[in-house]
Amino acid sequence: MKEKIFIEGRKKLSGAIPISGAKNSCLTLMPASLLSESALTLNNVPNLTDVETMNTLLRSLGCVVHYQKADKTLNLKTSDECLFLADYDIVKKMRASILVLGPLLARHGQAMVALPGGCAIGARPINLHLMALEALGARFSIENGYVKGKVGSRLKGCKIEFPFQSVGATANTIMAAVLAKGTTELLNVAREPEIIDLCKCLKAMGCKIEGEGKSRIIIQGVDNLKTTRHSVVMDRIELGTFIIAGAITNSDIKLTGGNTALLENFISKVSEVGIEIHQTKDYLQVKRENSSSIKCTNILTEPFPGFPTDLQAQMMALLSIADGVSKIEEQIFENRFMHVPELIRMGANIEISGREAIISGVDRLKGAPVKATDLRASVSLVLAGLVAEGQTEIDKVHHIDRGYEDIIGKLTSCGAVIRRY
């Protein structure tokens, strides 16, 4: 695998970039195939290493998986002879692996899942997952780095209130509750589009769910699910990333397949700093207002519908060349400023105090050798490299393969001088 990206900066972009299906939604939808022996077909599935990791995990659990790259279709089917061990060698690569826990317990009454890995952006414990599943009737022990879960007979619906919103815990609990006996009421749930997409798919499978997109979800358990085909929602984080790519390079680009309705807070902020976004039937058009400089702003990352933490690093790259001083406060993850030292190597003026970053805009960034530390940090360095003077070399870019489908090809098609080697 080629581990470095080389960028020659300060090139204008022009053209159209297609927005792929959402990685985070795919990783939430795929474990739903474990709930039934009926087939689940997903359309608009991006070709990403995280998707392949989940495919590998599902295969290890007895799921038959076929991914058709040409038409981005994923076919999943799990027999009743399912296995229950989610091995550490697979799970350590991706935190979303924990999402097999709820479906396995709901359908088979047992599961053994390694404690998950993923990007090193914070502790992200799974206590909320276990709390909710225990309320439904599961019992857990943690032994040798594995979560072992068992259900006496069948999970039973109940009322569960989450102490704070968690996308993963919400998804895991919903998938478990759809096969539980009786009614489950979930309070203070995550409202992200990926949760709405999961509920939409589960309802097509025959589940009875009300309230998705709100803070209270009601689920009536069912006995059987049916064969379903579902199209994955567009990737709002990829959309936001390419909006910033157009803005940071002062370019006029078009993004096809995007929907600003899933990014209202982000769209409001980029408009505030001087970016124009026009929605048409076929595409979004991105450009700066009168080719003016970027204005400063203050940002607070929050659960949906607030500003997404997954766009914080990209926005910081943009604000590093803004007029004036901006502030970003990261409320979601405690260790999500690892891109800051690398941006500073490129000439950015950023100071960190706890969970706050103070960004004093500079006239221009300069190319430098830098290292990616996680998925969103890696793409923030790509964005910085696009606008930097001279050449930028980004090392450890395997992270970017987890969440961005063919980013090199998409940017190259619009005139960026970028290659991988």
How would you write 251-304 as a 3-class SS string? CEEEEECCCHHHHHHHHHHHHHCCEEEEECCCEEEEEEHHHCCCECCEEEECCC
Residue 399 φ then ψ, to 5°: -55, -40
Indicate which residues carry an active-site annotation. 119
Half-sphere exposure of 188 (CA within 13 A, CB side): 10
pLDDT band at 118 (very low <50, low <70, confident <90, very high): very low
**Strand arrangement of the beta sheet that strand 40-43 belongs to:** 63-68, 73-78, 40-43, 228-231
Residue 127 has pLDDT above 80, yes or no: yes
Residue 28 has pLDDT above 90, yes or no: yes
* In 86-179, alpha helices (H): 88-91, 101-108, 127-135, 167-177
Average pLDDT over residues 120-135: 77
Residue 100 has pLDDT above 50, yes or no: yes
361/266 Cα distance (integer angstroms)? 20
Look up tokens 């594995």; give the residue: 146
pLDDT band at 117 (very low <50, low <70, confident <90, very high): low
SS3 state at 81: coil
Average pLDDT over residues 265-289: 93
Residue 232 has pLDDT above 70, yes or no: yes
Average pLDDT over residues 9-31: 97
Provide the whole-model pTM.
0.94
DSSP class of residue 37 equals S
Residue 249 has pLDDT above 90, yes or no: yes
- Percent above pLDDT 90 for the chain: 84
pLDDT band at 317 (very low <50, low <70, confident <90, very high): very high
Beta-strand relationship, 298-300 and 325-329: parallel
pLDDT band at 121 (very low <50, low <70, confident <90, very high): very low
SS3 state at 143: strand
Q: How far is CA 208 from CA 173, 211, 225, 232, in A?
A: 14, 11, 11, 20
360, two tokens: 């004093």
Residue 12 has pLDDT above 60, yes or no: yes
Residue 129 CB burial class (10 angstroms; 0-12, 13-18, ≥19) = buried
Determine the Cα angle at 251 with ends 250 and 256, to 5°.
Answer: 135
Contact 166, 190 (CB under 8 A): yes
pLDDT band at 1 (very low <50, low <70, confident <90, very high): low
**Strand arrangement of the beta sheet that strand 349-353 belongs to:** 298-300, 325-329, 356-360, 349-353
pLDDT band at 123 (very low <50, low <70, confident <90, very high): very low
SS3 state at 325: strand
248, two tokens: 């940071």
Could you report the per-residue pLDDT of 16-26, keeping only the tens digit for each?
999 999 999 99
265/104 Cα distance (integer angstroms)? 36
Could you report the per-residue pLDDT of 366-417, keeping only the tens digit for each?
999 999 988 888 999 999 999 999 999 999 998 899 899 999 999 999 999 9
SS3 state at 183: strand
Q: Angle, nearest 10°, between helix axes 101-108 and 127-135?
A: 20
Residue 254 has pLDDT above 90, yes or no: yes
What is the number of residues in the chain? 421
Residue 120 has pLDDT above 50, yes or no: no
Q: Which domains does the chain have, with CATH numbers?
A: 5-20+234-420 (3.65.10.10), 23-231 (3.65.10.10)
